[in-house]
Amino acid sequence: MEYRLSDRIKDLKGNAIREIFKLLQQPDFISFAGGFPTKELLPTEIVKEITTDIMNGKEAADVLQYGGTEGYMPFRKTACDYVKRYGIDGIDIDNVLIVSGGQQTIDLMCKAFVNKGDTVLVEDPTYLASLHILKTYEANAVGVKSGEDGLDLTDLEEKIKKYAPKMLYVVPTFSNPTGRTYSVEKRKAIAEITYKYNVMVLEDDPYSELRFEGERVPSLKSFEVGDNVVYSTSFSKTVAPGLRTGIAVGPKEVIRKLTIGKQAVDVHTSSLSQAILNEYIKRGYVDERLKVMIPVYREKKNAMIEAIKKYMPKEFKYTDPQGGLFIFGEFDKSLGIDCETLFPEICKYKVAYVSGVSFYADGSGRNTIRLNYSNATLEQIDDGIKRMGEFFKDIINNNK
């Protein structure tokens, strides 16, 4: 049968990471692709304890019943307090929407704001799923130049003037894929420029708790000058991605529109997941567990940096993040290394990166790769980067 598919989906390929996910099920494959938290750190005992308590408690049946689209009421209240740690204050439950993972906020923001053909600005490079989502809305994704401390403000303003974008999507803290963090000055300036031109900002912040060096930076939303920033965080990196739960905070009028969109998409987020996370926060497990997690992430990041220095060709330049899950690296373009076409080749060595091309709105970045350090053991990090180093050194030598 010849299916009459929609324009948005008919030629759309799967999200690169999600496709690699299947490949990585192979045993003895070392993956620096995905953005998986360290498996051994996942709180199985706590989830058991909390679920038992919930199911013994008087809210048990409420947690299994239909709930409000806005979220499980006790969790929405907890969320209002929780986001104070990101410098977000003075909100109430009508500023909060519980989402099925942080990524859902991107989808709902597009649903609420983006018509076919509308421009959305993203960082160059940006989270690949945001580009995938924008394709499902037939949006025009345009990259904004970026450096060590965040977006290039001149380029941002020029592109706002040129495209009149509906939205700017950013990951200001431990960016995916670069691991970089925007300075306070850049956050303030972005808040001002976007408000001036009536551009919504979606601040995606799944990683900021995973800081193993340096000082915390308040959220971009905490510097907003008008009502144009939606802040989104997730428990996928701090607690457990399998629970698929996050928090969106924004202006009430916008949250209301996101809620109407979410009514259509999945009615509401799993109430069991919400109730578990509500208790997880209230019992103080977030900070207790982060104290255990952060040294592990620091050690893994350091191990990967060491391995890169030891094994990767000297022509490989890379970021050295203070937190998050990713190192981003590039080969000088003059070397002619195309990490996208080389991907199937390196998989033969049973090691994987994500080709950087997936993170660029314009499909550039073929000389770049993203490496994740949280999902591999220290031994795998050494072994995998060694295999990768040998592979790229051979390529460079052969190209000479």
**CA separation for the pair 227, 253 (Å, rounded):** 10
Task: Single out the segment in contact with a copy of itself by CB under 8 A; choices: 74-82, 112-120, 277-285, 363-371.
Answer: 112-120
For residue 397, state whether it binds a copy of itself (rule: CB under 8 A).
Answer: no
| Binding residues for a copy of itself, total number by CB under 8 A | 92
Task: Single out the segment in contact with a copy of itself by CB under 8 A; choices: 67-75, 339-347, 363-371, 384-392.
Answer: 67-75
90, 205, 306, 353, 395 from 385: Cα distances, Å:
47, 28, 10, 10, 15
**292 CB contacts (<8 Å, ≥6 apart)?**
41
**CA separation for the pair 328, 174 (Å, rounded):** 11
Nearest distance from C-beta of residue 247 to a copy of itself, angstroms:
15
Determine which residue in the list 26, 48, 81, 149 makes contact with a copy of itself, applying CB under 8 A: 48
Q: Is the peptide bond before 177 cis (omega within 30 degrees of 0)?
A: yes
Tokens of 82: 């929780």
Q: Is the peptide bond before 125 cis (omega within 30 degrees of 0)?
A: yes
Comparison of 14 and 336: residue with beta carbon closer to a copy of itself: 14
**276 CB contacts (<8 Å, ≥6 apart)?**
47, 50, 51, 54, 243
Comparison of 270 and 364: residue with beta carbon closer to a copy of itself: 270
For residue 323, state whether it binds a copy of itself (rule: CB under 8 A).
Answer: no
Nearest distance from C-beta of residue 225 to a copy of itself, angstroms:
10
Q: What is the footprint of a copy of itself within residues 230-269 (CB under 8 A)?
A: 236, 240-245, 251, 253-254, 257, 259-261, 263-269
Comparison of 56 and 397: residue with beta carbon closer to a copy of itself: 56
Report which of 164, 112, 111, 109 is spatially closest to residue 142, judged by C-alpha positions. 164
For residue 177, state whether it binds a copy of itself (rule: CB under 8 A).
Answer: no
**CA separation for the pair 75, 59 (Å, rounded):** 13
Comparison of 29 and 349: residue with beta carbon closer to a copy of itself: 29
Comparison of 150 and 261: residue with beta carbon closer to a copy of itself: 261
For residue 55, state whether it binds a copy of itself (rule: CB under 8 A).
Answer: yes
**CA separation for the pair 176, 34 (Å, rounded):** 11
For residue 283, state whether it binds a copy of itself (rule: CB under 8 A).
Answer: no
For residue 324, state whether it binds a copy of itself (rule: CB under 8 A).
Answer: no
**CA separation for the pair 192, 147 (Å, rounded):** 19
Q: E-assigned strands of the chain?
A: 30-31, 96-99, 119-123, 140-144, 146-147, 150-151, 167-170, 200-204, 229-234, 246-249, 316-318, 326-331, 351-352, 354-355, 368-372
Nearest distance from C-beta of residue 206 to a copy of itself, angstroms:
12
For residue 27, state whether it binds a copy of itself (rule: CB under 8 A).
Answer: no
For residue 198, state whether it binds a copy of itself (rule: CB under 8 A).
Answer: yes
**271 CB contacts (<8 Å, ≥6 apart)?**
62, 63, 64, 65, 67, 72
Burial grade of 89 (CB within 10 A; 0-12, 13-18, 19 or more) = exposed
The rounded Cα 168 to chain-centroid distance in angstroms is 15
Nearest distance from C-beta of residue 163 to a copy of itself, angstroms:
13
**CA separation for the pair 43, 46 (Å, rounded):** 5
Nearest distance from C-beta of residue 30 to a copy of itself, angstroms:
17
For residue 28, state whether it binds a copy of itself (rule: CB under 8 A).
Answer: no
Q: What is the footprint of a copy of itself within residues 178-197 (CB under 8 A)?
A: 195
Q: Is the dihedral of CA 289, 295, 298, 304 positive or negative?
A: negative
Q: What is the footprint of a copy of itself within residues 123-152 (CB under 8 A)?
A: 129, 132-133, 135-136
Place of tokens 């929407």: 97
For residue 76, state whether it binds a copy of itself (rule: CB under 8 A).
Answer: no
For residue 47, state whether it binds a copy of itself (rule: CB under 8 A).
Answer: yes
Nearest distance from C-beta of residue 110 to a copy of itself, angstroms:
8
CA neighbours closer than 13 Å in the CB half-sphere of residue 73: 5
Determine which residue in the list 28, 65, 284, 348 makes contact with a copy of itself, applying CB under 8 A: 65
Q: What is the footprint of a copy of itself within residues 330-359 (CB under 8 A)?
A: none
Task: Single out the segment in contact with a copy of itself by CB under 8 A; choices: 50-58, 180-188, 351-359, 363-371.
Answer: 50-58
Comparison of 25 and 398: residue with beta carbon closer to a copy of itself: 25
